[in-house]
Structure 1
């Protein structure tokens, strides 16, 4: 631990139990909502394109908010940003449950994303504060990654069951309740972790923007997460509307792709040690391209089904894990003294790319086919592979 960091006395298991809910909630608010997405146009009396905005704008706000909350956490501390974000997330979730018009629903989704953004950036900045120079850092990042892998697997199933038994509004009540429980726990147990010197010495963020390595690995993160974003944006329409899956059957099929990520995460440390950071990212991009080829074959010569849409996504899911296991370390290396700002920019740029280009692919190429997923994954993977080649050839410092 840095000498100027406030002492964190909790054990690693206690830390994970304290921090994990704030890491999970941002993703859970996306995934638990998926099974009811096809029904929302009728519920809110709007179009599928507007309902797509409730996914896209959430992603964009999740990133934009971190531009504000990352530097703010460097200035005033992690604790107030985390507590304020969790409270905002909970209030917005309860308001979403009470919404009856599309305008209010979209507005509260934006507020929910802002709250999730604040909690997320404060959590990751605190992890760097406490574990940046300790061997437990690899363990806690692996644990967080493993937990996040379970969210896409279990979130849609939970959403389908809740919606079937209690109605769609209960999904957002459940999100608000989880956020409140995590908030109450944090109020009593989460003390400030920001290094004392951070309030005085504020390094410029310009070196982050000038770092070719930062941009290469942030684009890699965008390629991986954007592929999954386009997948869950199109999957409900392809499988529920196109293939005739029920909400529960869809959720189970969707969960198998997340299951592929979970299994791959189990071996993440071994392949990173063997291939290194650049090698792992390159292999991740290659898997995205391979999956895109299989999706194209299924789209051209088959009909929407588990085999033509979900099985190729298993390949892409493996590639996603290869990429996200190394992109944070590759992008943020050398920026430990401005961790809040660096993490914020990393996540913000990724969210803007995913939210804008991913939505463009879904809208322009019709969200009821596999072509948006093929286009996004292929283009982004090729861009990252070119950037990696330039990074290696020119030996550009991070």
Structure 2
């Protein structure tokens, strides 16, 4: 079935400048707020548990909201969902900045997450609409994932500086100020990309969950980004707590991993052309396993250091890019006519995998060591490789039927 697609006039670089701010802001709204969490109970005259609720609800709504806005974007289009989501994000950010009570603050944080989830769905559904099965999609997915690797490192530092010089309210005002030019730019340049004939069809979303490819490649994305999440959660305790790195030294070491991801993205398009989607994911999983082995050797034979903790993560960083650059193409390949819904479930499910399995790894194992990263990467890579074998075994009979 041929999908009729509207024209998209933006070059690849212009598309990245148009889309990236919405992806970054959705994550930054979480990380930039972290430094002021300890003082918020006194500011809002509430308990720490209520302030923690503002963090938890943001994460929950970010995932649940995508499931809501994904089907909506399939019905009404990507552009209106993006613009409405951006406006909600700006208004909610300003509302949070001027909140005087805990209840009002939590409500605005919930609305902020709803706006962020709409922006995410519209952004990635647009990527799928325009660049489905094209080499440019590899560059976009890889760069967006790599840039997001910097956000957890930069966000808290930015939040601490802003709150120190201008107060906690300025953090949320900053988010609104950053979102405004991105939204204005989108208002002038973001064209509707929903397939032209989609409005006449209302396909069920159930085939998404029956697709083995969807689950294997969604798990693969969770394996890659989850490994980085666990690394992010343990790195401060390992490098500053045990290896005695300074704050600046830790930041440089952490940033080097994200830099490796950005550099690797430069070569990802040609590698996908050579290896294909499954080949890139398989090699990405093998690199995760190699990095896990190196981390294990460092834990057993040495002490925490740049060479025993960060250098193995460089190997994993290459594997992460190999993986996350192509998994969307693999998972969403057969759902172009319901791309909004498919993208929403794709990101929602992998977010649950990362948050639940990643948190369990850090909590149950020694978070002052590399063992959580080792366990998560090894387990997830093993599951994904087994899934790739199953996909290959299912494909062989179909290929034989074509030739016979």
Quote the Cα distance in structure 2 between the aligned partners of 1:173 and 1:295: 41
| Cα gap change, 1:3 to 1:206, in 2 (>3 Å) | closer
Whether 1:128 and 2:125 are equivalent positions in the alignment is: no
Q: Deviations over 1:128-178 (max 9, x none)?
A: 334448xxx422541452254234347624642562475383554433321
Instruction: Provide the aligned length of Structure 1 versus Structure 2.
Output: 390
* Alignment partner, residue 326 of structure 2: 326
For the 8 Å contact 1:27–1:148, the answer to whether it is kept is no
Of the structure 1 ranges 108-117 and 306-315, higher mean CA displacement relative to structure 2 is found in 108-117
Whether 1:146 and 2:143 are equivalent positions in the alignment is: yes
* Alignment partner, residue 402 of structure 2: none
1:365 offset after TM fit, Å? 2.1
Whether 1:255 and 2:255 are equivalent positions in the alignment is: yes
* Alignment partner, residue 364 of structure 1: 364
Quote the Cα distance in structure 2 between the aligned partners of 1:273 and 1:82: 31
* Alignment partner, residue 16 of structure 1: 16
Quote the Cα distance in structure 1 between the aligned partners of 2:302 and 2:360: 25
Q: Deviations over 1:156-211 (max 9, x none)?
A: 24642562475383554433321122112223333433234322201111221111
Of the structure 1 ranges 196-205 and 54-63, higher mean CA displacement relative to structure 2 is found in 54-63
After superposition, where does 1:187-206 map in structure 2 within 5 Å?
A: 187-206=187-206
After superposition, where does 1:1-398 map in structure 2 within 5 Å?
A: 4-29=4-29, 36=35, 40-41=37-38, 58-94=58-94, 110-132=110-132, 137-139=134-136, 141-153=138-150, 156-157=153-154, 159-160=156-157, 163-164=160-161, 167=164, 169=168, 170-395=170-395
For the 8 Å contact 1:59–1:352, the answer to whether it is kept is no
Q: TM-score, normalised by structure 2?
A: 0.83
Alignment gaps of 5+ in structure 1: none
| Cα gap change, 1:131 to 1:296, in 2 (>3 Å) | closer
Q: CA RMSD in A?
A: 3.4
Quote the Cα distance in structure 1 between the aligned partners of 2:385 and 2:33: 33
For the 8 Å contact 2:138–2:326, the answer to whether it is kept is no
Q: Deviations over 1:271-292 (max 9, x none)?
A: 2222222121111111111212
Of the structure 1 ranges 161-170 and 195-204, higher mean CA displacement relative to structure 2 is found in 161-170
SS in 1 for 2:82: helix
Quote the Cα distance in structure 1 between the aligned partners of 2:132 and 2:276: 19
1:127 offset after TM fit, Å? 2.7
SS in 1 for 2:326: helix
For the 8 Å contact 1:153–1:257, the answer to whether it is kept is no
1:252 offset after TM fit, Å? 1.9
1:102 offset after TM fit, Å? 8.7
Alignment gaps of 5+ in structure 2: 399-404
